[in-house]
Structure 1
Amino acid sequence: WEHCAKDDTFNLIIADFETWTPPEGSSFDTIWGDTWLWDNDLDYKEYKTVITNKYSQYTDNIGFWGDE
């Protein structure tokens, strides 16, 4: 994080991926999920589908740890 520009070209949002909703009118170049599922009822595939459906209106590029 110390190597990233700290201006309007970069936003790091630290929030609960399942409950946070971007403000109306938001758009992002990339949304990347650092996801921990050890205490989640969904398996990885189900979780990825839920999150992709939730955030796809805000970006064309969604990534998750564990993707190849």
Structure 2
Amino acid sequence: MLLIRVRLGQSPLHGISWQSREAVELATLAWLDWFNHRRLLEPMGNVPPAEAEAAYYRQLNDPAMPT
């Protein structure tokens, strides 16, 4: 839980007054969606983490790819 608090403390979500627990949950889910599906990773070719992961597993399962 501490790691989540630190990450949220460094994010655009920091400093917002939350109206309810549900509002916090929705904001957290939106941030996680961005973090996993839209954030671009330069070391992986400027693709989102989910796309890089999918490509990795496709490569593992493709028998035509050299190992």
Same fold (TM over 0.5): no
| Larger strand share, 1 or 2 | 1
Larger Rg belongs to: 2
* TM superposition score normalised by structure 2: 0.29
Normalised TM-score (structure 1): 0.29
Write 1 or 2 for the structure with the bigger share of helix.
2
- RCO higher in 1 or 2 (8 Å CA, sep ≥ 6)? 1
